[in-house]
Amino acid sequence: MSATIVARAPGKLFVAGEYAVVTPGEPAVLVAVDRFLTVSLTETTGAGGIHSPESARPSLRWTRDAGGLVVAPEDHSYDYVLSALTVIERLRAERGIAPRLYDLTIDSGLDDASGRKFGLGSSAAVTVATIRAIDRFYRLALDRRTLYQLALLATIRIAPSASGGDLAASTFGGWIGYRSPDREMLRRLLDAGDAVASVLESDAWEHLEIVRLRPPRDLGFFVGWTGEPASTVRLVDAVGRGAAVGAVDHAGFLRDSRACVTDLWAALDAGDDAATLDALRRARGLLQALGAQAGLAIETPRLAALCDAAETAGAAAKSSGAGGGDCGIVLAPASADVRGMLDAWEAQDIRRLTIAVHPPEGGDDVL
């Protein structure tokens, strides 16, 4: 029996480029944060298992037959984990490596003690950590790009519209510039039964870009949580429906988002904090306008209060991710009245999360 393998992946927050990034080739900026989801793998016999001790979800048992993994068909409580198993086990079989059974234990530090989610990308983190653990178990020696690619293939089997930006942040860490590949083509190739190794080399990845960006030079990073849950899939789909019927100027939004995020990439790489703050404010305005066109509360009243308090204090802020609740992010120069901002948050029942970017200097990190 082999020793337990422990792999972890950080959560994420979007900085800019939300909604646009689901279109292949459109840029976004994300950060990985210093809260982690951990997957522990132990070899077993007879059947494999998936457990999450702090969760109310029951444990799941899985076995194999000639067609692949076998679980209760009605059980979707670990859908991202099972999808990750399915994809990486296909690659394992293609490499001629003998199958083995194992238990996976999931421990999430991305939620609070009561299990409430903060919107830090738990689905992405569990997918990345699962693939990282199985990679080590079978000694596949995957590089980070391939690990990310497998995580994306696993994710789009469950959520076809997912951009994969959260997976890139959880895989690479730090400040990340990201452009998504053609996930529709990738899903077609998977569904057609193409070898995973072949899919990894397909033209569908043409638009993919993952680059490490420099952290802001002298800006503090703050995160506030509204206590309101949000559904990314529902909001992204609603914007898509608005674009389909002409209510949303999708082409104009993509153009403006591309210009804003491109400026943000350049500002970060140049160490220009003033331009970074300006780009973040522009990104907030773009999401506000998009929500107005689509008839959606992307920036909820509580998110607006969070951002307005930051602006009053001399900082820049916006909702993070799809909005509709969850978190807002703030970049604050040394001159900002951070104490006043935090007091305003407390008065609005907005919770400051003690979160920092991981790794802090944007350097490499072994997870």
Q: How would DSSP label each residue in 83-120?
A: HHHHHHHHHHHHTTPPP-EEEEEEEE-SB-TT--B-SS
For the cut 90, the answer to whether the pLDDT of residue 360 exceeds it is no
Q: How confident is the model at residue 1 (pLDDT cuts 50, 70, 90)?
A: low
Mean pLDDT of 53-76: 80
For the cut 60, the answer to whether the pLDDT of residue 277 exceeds it is yes
Tokens of 105: 């234990």
For the cut 80, the answer to whether the pLDDT of residue 73 exceeds it is no
For the cut 90, the answer to whether the pLDDT of residue 365 exceeds it is no
Q: Which residue has the higher pLDDT, 68 or 5?
A: 5
Do 211 and 177 form a contact (C-beta atoms < 8 A)?
Answer: yes
- Mapped onto helix, strand or coil, the DSSP state of residue 42 is strand
Beta bridge partners of residue 221, listed in sequence order:
331
For the cut 60, the answer to whether the pLDDT of residue 362 exceeds it is no
Q: Phi, psi (5° rounding) for residue 64?
A: -125, 150
Q: How confident is the model at residue 269 (pLDDT cuts 50, 70, 90)?
A: very high
Q: Range with the lowest mean pLDDT among 35-44, 62-71, 216-225, 278-287? A: 62-71
Give CA 230 to chain center in angstroms. Answer: 14
Q: How confident is the model at residue 140 (pLDDT cuts 50, 70, 90)?
A: very high
Q: Which residue has the higher pLDDT, 360 or 309?
A: 309
Q: How confident is the model at residue 85 (pLDDT cuts 50, 70, 90)?
A: very high
For the cut 90, the answer to whether the pLDDT of residue 53 exceeds it is no
> Counting beta carbons within 10 angstroms of the beta carbon of residue 228, is it exposed (0 to 12), middle (13 to 18) or buried (19 or more)?
middle
In what side-by-side order are the strands of the sheet with 220-225?
316-319, 327-332, 220-225, 351-353
* Residue 282, number of CB atoms within 10 A of its CB: 19
Mean pLDDT of 96-103: 96
- Mapped onto helix, strand or coil, the DSSP state of residue 290 is helix
Beta bridge partners of residue 330, listed in sequence order:
222, 317
Mean pLDDT of 157-172: 95
Q: How confident is the model at residue 237 (pLDDT cuts 50, 70, 90)?
A: confident
Q: Which domains does the chain have, with CATH numbers?
A: 5-213 (3.30.230.10), 220-353 (3.30.70.890)
What is the pLDDT at residue 366? 43
What is the pLDDT at residue 367? 47
What is the DSSP pairing of strand 5-16 with strand 351-353? unpaired
Q: Which residue has the higher pLDDT, 10 or 70?
A: 10
Note if the pTM is more than 0.75.
yes
Mean pLDDT of 17-30: 96
CA-CA distances (angstroms) from residue 178 to 49, 108, 237?
A: 34, 25, 21
* Residue 100, number of CB atoms within 10 A of its CB: 15
User: Percentage of residues in the chain with pLDDT exceeding 90?
Assistant: 77
Q: How confident is the model at residue 57 (pLDDT cuts 50, 70, 90)?
A: confident
Mean pLDDT of 219-243: 79
What is the pLDDT at residue 101? 95
Q: Please report where in the chains the tokens 């991710």 appear, as a residue.
A: 321
Q: Please report where in the chains the tokens 């104009």 appear, as a residue.
A: 252
Q: How confident is the model at residue 114 (pLDDT cuts 50, 70, 90)?
A: low
Q: Please report where in the chains the tokens 């996930």 appear, as a residue.
A: 183
What is the pLDDT at residue 69? 85
pLDDT in tens, 193-214: 999 999 999 999 999 999 999 9
Q: Phi, psi (5° rounding) for residue 28?
A: -150, 165
User: Percentage of residues in the chain with pLDDT exceeding 70?
Assistant: 92
- Angle, nearest 10°, between helix axes 232-244 and 273-294? 70
What is the pLDDT at residue 302? 93
Mean pLDDT of 14-35: 96
**Mean pLDDT across the chain:** 91
Q: Range with the lowest mean pLDDT among 63-67, 171-175, 221-225, 296-300? A: 63-67
Question: No. of H helices and E strands in the chain?
Answer: 11, 12
What is the pLDDT at residue 246? 66
